[in-house]
Amino acid sequence: MEIKVLGPGCPNCKRLEKLAREAALEAGVEATFTKVSAIKDIVSYPIVSTPGLVIDGEVVCSGRIPQKAEIVSWLSEATRA
């Protein structure tokens, strides 16, 4: 599973990355984490505002910091799919 965190390096995206890693541990999911910080690359995703969370190429959340429980449920869905 590939998890990408989109954000230029401000406290919000750092927080999202931390929560995503913890959620992956909780969900028992093996994932590679990539942080996309170059604005050029962030813009190539269909989001309007950072931070953004991409799971296996699909944007699941953008513009806010989701709760860890939400991330865990998205990860579980992605493994089942």
Partner 1 sequence: METLTNITGLLQGGLGNLASYLAAHVLLCLLPAFFIAGALSALVPREAVTRYLGRDAPKIVSYPAAALGGFVLAVCSCTIMPLFAGIYKKGAGLGPAITFLFVGPAINILALTYTGVAIGMDIAVARIVLSVVFGIGIGLIMALTFRHDDAAHAAEINGAFAGAAVVPGAAWAFLLLLVALLIAGTLQVGLLSNHYAQLTLPLQGVDRLQETLYRWVPFDATRGEEGVTAQGAVLIGLLVTIGLSAWRGLESIDEGFNRWTWVSLGLIGLTLLAASLRFVPRAAGLDLGITGRTLAVGAALVGLWYVAARRLEEHQVREWLWETWRFVKQIFPLLIVGVFAVGVIREWINPDWIQALAGRNTVLANVVGVIFGVFMYFPTLVEVPIANMFLSLGMHRGPLLAYLISDPELSLQSILITSSIIGRTKAWVYVAWVAVFSTIAGLLYGAWVDGTSAWRIAGILLAGVAALAVALRYVGMRQESSARALEKAADSGSAGGS
Q: Which residues bind partner 1 (CB under 8 A)?
A: 7-13, 15, 19, 38-40, 42-43, 46-50, 63-65, 67-68
How many CA atoms lie within 13 Å of 27's alpha carbon, on the beta-carbon side?
23
Which of these is catalytic: 3, 5, 6, 13? 13
Which C-beta is closer to partner 1: that of 3 or that of 19?
19
Strands (E), the chain: 2-6, 32-36, 52-55, 58-62
- In the complex, the smallest distance separating the C-beta of residue 31 from partner 1, rounded to whole angstroms, is 21
Query: Phi and psi dihedrals of 61, rounded to 5?
Result: -160, 140
> What tokens appear for 39 in the block?
């604005």
61 an active-site residue? no
* Min separation Cβ 47 and partner 1, Å: 7
Q: Which residues are catalytic?
A: 10, 13
